[in-house]
Structure 1
Amino acid sequence: MNNFITSAVRTGKASSKMIAFAFVLLYNSVFAQSQNLNGHKLLYHDAYSEISQMLEDKQPLNFKRAIFLMENAFLNGSWKYEQFSEQIQSITNKLQLLIKERHFEKFKTAGNWAAFTYMVDSISQNDFKPYKYDFDNFLPTKDPTVGFVTKLITTGKGNCVSLPELYKILTNELQCTAYLALAPMHCYIKHKDENGKWVNLEMTSGSFARDEWIMQESGVTVEQIKTGIYMNALTEKETLASVLNDLAANYQFQFGCDGFDLLVAETALKYYPKGVHIYMVKFEHYRKMLLQARQQNNSVSVDHYNRILFGIDQKLAELAYKEPSKQDYEEWVRDNEKNRLLQESKTQIKSNNK
């Protein structure tokens, strides 16, 4: 089935009806498989089904719900949605009181201010324990849960994924506007201030960031901004498509590549065609297929998968994507930690001198 779809698309011999029909067959095939799934895999299928319905406008867009479904699938149902919602609602109640206490109700960005203040400042509402960047465990290479919101609200520590995601969930609950934005191996927040001007919130350091600083620190190029892969405020559907991408990547991590991961990635690309991270999930799927074909000495399949991988490479090149360096990112994180500790030290010295 996968061969039929990709061959038709890559060779340019597929009509739109033919492609649609092929994906219907793929969906039906995966759905049929789901009838005999164990409970863990079924959580992934259920999450995909519900998030897809949101994207198709069959259900209201709900970022909080989508995040829960994606994370709980990986966690094999260890959370209940009521439990997750109660945790979020508890924080939301504190933010509403904070806004009321400061008499900020009249401001459009009151919710943005409250969520930011609660997450990054030491105040009574958070028991003087703001959320922290987990400098000891921030890359999801071996453990995807390092970027989970459920882990952040449980431990108080997160990374550049969970911190902005929680911020967005909280501002959504307060009916304020906030958008996720991407840079290489990084995620941050964009929203408009009281005057309608865009501002960037760097949740990892609890600070505001200029576009120029983000470009310099993360290595974003002007060409990448032009193609739209980085530093744009993601639409709500692009954001949910990114959640689907995480669902597909986590499925690959736990169960490998059996067709379901590809179905999820293809659906995500339909709503976020410039999502380079989604193409990387597709690439991983076909890389595994290529390895299997080589082990089976199947030269026809080897050529087929090589063509598909080449096509993905070409698409990424068109989008000006370059694979970011994990070493550079780790050095950037360490530098931020040093700067944070230095700033805290200066603040403490000033406080002691008063």
Structure 2
Amino acid sequence: MKNLLPLTILIWLLSSGTAKAQSNQFYNDSYQTIDNMLEGKQKYSFKNAVFSVEEAYYQGKLDTVALNKEIEFLKRFAQSILKNRDLEYKEADKEKVSKYSAVYSIMCRSLPIAYKDTVIQYKPFAYDFTDVFGHNDLPNLFVSKLLITKKGNCNSMPYLYKILSEELGVEANLALAPNHVYIKHQIKSIGWFNTELTSGIFPEDGWLMASGYIHLDAIKNGVFMKALNNKESLALCLFDLAQAYNRSFPGNNGEFVLKALNRAVEVYPNFAKGLILRAETHKKQFEKQMHYQNLDPNNSANIKIAQQDPKTKELMELMKKEYGHIYDLGYRQMPEDMYLDWLVSLRTERNKYENKKLINNFDK
């Protein structure tokens, strides 16, 4: 017969592992960095917030020195474009618009670069259709992966665009659509417009509505199509931190995840992804409570029995309230395969959705 660990030692080992997860210093440091920015105790930097999340996931092994050098190179490249190109734009905010155009060119356009006696063709960043949602490997959503491979998705590409814009001293607003992040700008010539990095075009709002999953209530409540301010963008980083923590410690008790999500929702109350993950975290806690009672959470009769326990009942009521609130905001879940079809439609039907007024004074 094999030797078995005494129950007290086994419990200690399990609890020690859990404690290690809950107090992981890299995740705590990232949370504190973002929270300090929100509180004004630390200078705001979307770049630093994003890299702090990725640093936490990699447990201190992210080469931030190399990444910052790459950011600096792209910044100098943008400055070179600004110096050598006079944008066909006549409004008073030409300097700002020129910076947007330079960043857009770096992200989406092939550009000739003169090097000594040779002209080198710069290749832009490309959309990576492999593991778009990071299900298999979370770093597929990371800016660090985008910088290393020059391939990214609707998470990393708009994040990098915002980082480069801020490096040039101008603001870029992130905006959300179902399963999607893009850029919104406001300029004097036309007002608000969309910049879509995954396809490299400027789509009208009609493209977003064409998905069929943007309810009018979601627009009214700022769930989708809202130009996020810098604090709301940091709320997205807190969501990313919670999601990364779940990947690093899949058996966690939800304490740190809820801490990050509660802070995110405090900053951006109608942040659907944050609200959903918070509800799902409470659902996991509810299911664990049922397992403690040796009850199957998939059995409706057992759920009624479980609610005799005050803690289980409290979590059940909280879940109902949270999921109901998400629905009332106008959020509708878009199937992932439909999202990919919708994304491709922007490339194949660009003439139908592209903002043609903008092309003439922004991309030339």
**TM-score in terms of structure 1 length:** 0.81
- The structure that has the greater radius of gyration is 2
Whether contact under 8 Å (1:135, 1:334) holds in the other structure is no
Q: Does 1:327 align with 2:349?
A: no
d(CA) in 2 for partners of 1:289, 1:97: 53
The answer for the alignment partner of 2:165 in structure 1 is: 171
Matching residue within 286, 289, 306 for 2:316: 306
162 and 107 in structure 1: CA distance in 2 versus 1, 3 angstrom threshold: same
Q: 1:269 offset after TM fit, Å?
A: 1.0
Contact 1:178 1:191 in 2 (8 A): yes
One-letter code of the match for 1:314?
Answer: G
Question: Which of 126, 133, 139 is the matching residue for 1:132?
Answer: 126
Unpaired segments ≥5 residues, structure 1: 1-32, 341-354
CA contact (8 A) 1:40 1:73 kept: no
Quote the Cα distance in structure 1 between the aligned partners of 2:326 and 2:343: 26
Deviation at 1:325, TM superposition (A): 1.3
Alignment partner, residue 61 of structure 2: 78
Counterpart residue type for residue 180 of structure 2: H
Distance, in Å, in 2 between the alignment partners of 1:337 and 1:131 is 16
Q: 5 Å matches for 1:82-231?
A: 82-104=65-87, 107-125=95-113, 127-195=121-189, 197-217=191-211, 219-231=213-225
For the 8 Å contact 2:214–2:331, the answer to whether it is kept is no
Q: Which residue of 2 aligns with 1:19?
A: none
Matches of 1:317 and 1:152, distance apart in 2: 33
Could you say which residue in structure 1 is the equivalent of 2:34? 51
Which one of the candidate residues 269, 275, 278 is aligned to 1:279?
275
**Deviation of 1:337 (Å):** 6.1
- Counterpart of 2:96, as a letter, is K
Distance in 1 separating the partners of 2:22 and 2:261: 22
Q: Which moved more, 1:220-229 or 1:200-209?
A: 220-229
Amino acid at match of 1:79: L
Select the structure that is richer in helix. Answer: 1
How far 1:304 moved relative to its partner? 2.0
Distance of 2:96 and 2:345 partners within structure 1: 34
The equivalences for 1:225-240 within 5 A come to 225-240=219-234
The percent of aligned pairs where both chains have the same amino acid is 32
Distance 1:220 1:194 in 2: 27
Q: Secondary structure at the match of 2:195?
A: strand
**Structure 1 residues 63-122: Cα deviation after superposition (integer angstroms, max 9, x where no partner):** 000000011111222223332221101100011011101145953211100010111111
Between the aligned partners of 2:80 and 2:161, the Cα distance in structure 1 is 17
Q: CA RMSD in A?
A: 2.3
User: SS at 2:332's partner residue?
Assistant: coil
Residue 82 to residue 200, structure 1, CA distance change in 2 (3 Å) = same
AA aligned to 2:101 is W
Q: Distance in 2 between matches of 1:127 and 1:138?
A: 27
Match of 2:95, SS? coil
Aligned-pair CA distance for 1:227: 1.2
- 1:290 aligned onto 2:290: no
